[in-house]
A and B are shown apart, each in its own frame.
Chain A
């Protein structure tokens, strides 16, 4: 076998990384082999735990202390990266192979000015003078389309938006024109419009500089926009690798087929009509926050929610869609009065919710339940999951025995074994935990269920299952659902109506079909265009 085929910049051959004893499997990655060709974008796709990040870390020599590379080779520029010493390694990382990370705000050291962070790369690897370096950094800032490079140079990371931080990271990575850029989920934490800009930037940079890119993602939409070739990983192994066309259009492996099928598409579900009485009627909701105030001045006021009306019928699902900071979560919290709105009236099931005192509110809240984004932090690690589900009804007056029986039947309803009652949260996967959270929310027979980014943290295949579960349960129990998401694809799949939020206002509200086919607002069109994979589908 030729270890380093011509045209390949990096060649991985049978790379295995073992996990510490006591893990759920022996290897983080096992016999991973692939080539990265000059100037190509290779997307590595897989769900959480598939080993895609470990593969990137193995190439960079950044494996955490408890992981060890067992065998295999990573050929780069005539050397095996698994067998270079520290000095050689440092000459390669940052200079010839660079990396960008998932959370741009966390990847920039908060005590450094962003300009100095980029300058550091030059200082380590070159002998340029301070003025020359500064000029280089400013040029890079322009190259990654950062606004006002001169001013930004002296800013600290916390003064930049997430998208700007990622541009700074990309500037750092591209500083010395590396042959290879490894991007580990670089757009996952960003809003869709920002994501679209960063993806375009990476495509432009590849065209201009010819850098080869390994792009790690869980999102097939992103793959469709970016990839020349695709490697699909599962349980630490590469199950399929091929060109963009081969993998996306004619997947061979069952797992790839399942993954692609699970990707939510921008398609409206079948329309339903609702004539019953409104479960939720909120009018003129307004909430503003003060910022920058102190002992002497009150600071300025920011409208998080500005004059919003929401109506929701029994059995209906309303999607609140918007980017971070658009006010969608604040609105939901106002509706259930986790925070008190400044103005507005809220009626839930005929009760004027906005006027209730504390005690009455506590009682009335049983009718509204929330499922949160992160199923890992939403469950008390020291409480048996059955008890967690039974707790709500017991607080509201149900006898223990009855509540526990009910909890068992709910576990069955959400697709878990009723015998799981006595187990603790850490024994479950993310998707199972979200099922438990849903069971807990439904234990009180709510009229209104608020799902706050409830599927955003889950892998696509799990996401699809949870969405199906929610739809099924809604059909059986006819609760109204307020579905908060940043993902138009998810919203279009499950919602009867979609409300697009921006800067605290609902700027457009219509059925998914209308939003997708006849968007009225420019911003909605922008959001639609930014959905990864959208352009690809149009051209296909």
Chain B
């Protein structure tokens, strides 16, 4: 079991290293930060001074080595823009994104999974078709567009909800709905097909033959089995929610890491971008590790076999 986890951990480390490296390469080849950070009329001395201050005058290999060591030791450097510690800047934004992301995730799971189950139980009926139409609508619609539609309806026409910013609990409703409903659609579809697969199994009929009630068959016998594929999708979606936050935070002017990333990219604030990309990648990796762990909990065939 310990070995199993060591292997997983090793793989996660390699993934993160690959991300760190590609971020480095992409950012260095996509333009000079000096041009976007300093005013166009900056003197050559000013430019040279700026380069020296941020180590941009050193050979690339040296920059890379220093960068990897710093990343590994948790030193993400200072923002090119205002000279503050990157970690401080990000730490201010993380709670906002977590708040939005987790609210959206709760919406997605609490809506998507039960609707998926309901659609499976009522397969090929009106209820099923209705739910699946909404699911397709949910994940086919780009979330920036969906967000704008919500603003149009609830802010401009009905004047019920604030269109952007933060302050009250009402501010979180539309961004969370935008982010959550698209994910709920995908989850509903997956839950439905996983449930249909399980409901056709002999052991569900065997449970009925024992006299297990309908609710017992669905909740106790089918759901734990259907959860195995659904959890994979839920894990991947957790990562995608953070990615989706970039767009939604911009649309609703939400002060989270997504918006920070967008503004840092446009101003070529390399230190911040690097740290943020690494953070998002780490979230994905952790989400995947969690899914692996949950597999073991959910499926005794994995748990018991790896004990042997």
Contact = CB atoms under 8 A, between A and B. Distances in A.
Partners in one complex: yes
Highest count of chain A CB atoms <10 Å: which of B3, B206, B300 = B206
B225 A111 contact: yes
A125 interface: yes
A94 interface: yes
A124 B210 contact: yes
Interface stretch (A100-108, A237-245, A362-370, A424-432): A100-108
B221 interface: yes
A98 B212 CA distance: 12
B304 A98 contact: no
Contacts of B212: 94, 120, 124
Nearest to B224: A111
A107 B210 contact: no
A294 B209 contact: no
A158 B208 contact: no
Highest count of chain B CB atoms <10 Å: which of A102, A106, A110 = A110
Interface string B124-160: 0000000000000000000000000000000000000
Contact of A93 (B201, B209, B304, B308): B209
Contact of A294 (B7, B216, B225): B7
A158 B301 contact: yes
B210 A172 contact: yes
Contacts of A124: 210-213, 216
A102 B202 CA distance: 9
A121 B308 contact: no
A110 B211 contact: no
A106 B209 contact: no
A243 to B, nearest CB: 29
Interface in A165-180: 169, 172-173
B77 to A, nearest CB: 35
A101 B202 contact: yes
Interface in A156-199: 156, 158-159, 169, 172-173
Interface in B263-308: 298-301, 304-305, 308
A295 B14 CA distance: 15
A319 to B, nearest CB: 32
A98 B209 contact: yes
Highest count of chain B CB atoms <10 Å: which of A106, A109, A121 = A109
Interface residues of B, number: 27
A121 to B, nearest CB: 5
Nearest to A90: B211
Nearest to A296: B3
Contacts of B90: none
Given A101-B206, A294-B4, A110 B308 contact: no
Given A109-B221, A121-B211, A156-B300, A101 B205 contact: yes
Interface string B210-247: 11111010000100110000000000000000000000
A109 B207 contact: yes
B304 A106 contact: no
A121 B299 contact: no
Contacts of A99: 206, 209
Given A91-B211, A106-B202, A111 B299 contact: yes
B301 A107 contact: no
Contact of B298 (A62, A91, A111, A158): A111
A95 interface: yes
Contacts of A173: 209
A60 interface: yes
B203 interface: yes
Given A94-B210, A111-B225, A125-B211, A156 B308 contact: no
B205 A110 contact: no
A295 B299 CA distance: 21
A141 to B, nearest CB: 17
Contacts of A156: 300-301, 304
B203 A106 contact: yes
A99 B211 CA distance: 11
Contacts of B299: 110-111
B201 A159 contact: no
A504 to B, nearest CB: 22
A107 B3 contact: no
Given A62-B205, A108-B203, A156-B304, A295 B7 contact: yes
B301 A60 contact: no
A292 interface: yes
B202 A94 contact: no
Contacts of B4: 294
B136 to A, nearest CB: 25
Highest count of chain B CB atoms <10 Å: which of A86, A107, A292, A296 = A107
Highest count of chain A CB atoms <10 Å: which of B4, B208, B213, B304 = B208
A179 to B, nearest CB: 14
A158 B300 CA distance: 9
Interface in B165-211: 201-203, 205-211
B306 to A, nearest CB: 8
A165 to B, nearest CB: 11
Interface string A56-96: 00001010000000000000000000000010001111110
Nearest to B7: A295
A377 to B, nearest CB: 18
Interface in A111-132: 111, 113, 120-121, 124-125
Contacts of A60: 208-209
A90 B213 contact: yes
B201 A106 contact: yes
Nearest to A99: B209
B202 A120 contact: no
Nearest to A97: B209
Nearest to A172: B210
Contacts of B7: 294-296
14 contacts: A93-B210, A93-B211, A101-B206, A106-B203, A107-B203, A107-B205, A111-B300, A124-B212, A124-B216, A156-B304, A158-B301, A172-B210, A173-B209, A294-B4
The 10 closest A-B pairs by CB, nearest first: A94-B211, A94-B210, A106-B202, A99-B209, A156-B300, A109-B203, A107-B206, A107-B202, A111-B224, A295-B7
Interface of B: 3-4, 7, 201-203, 205-214, 216, 221, 224-225, 298-301, 304-305, 308
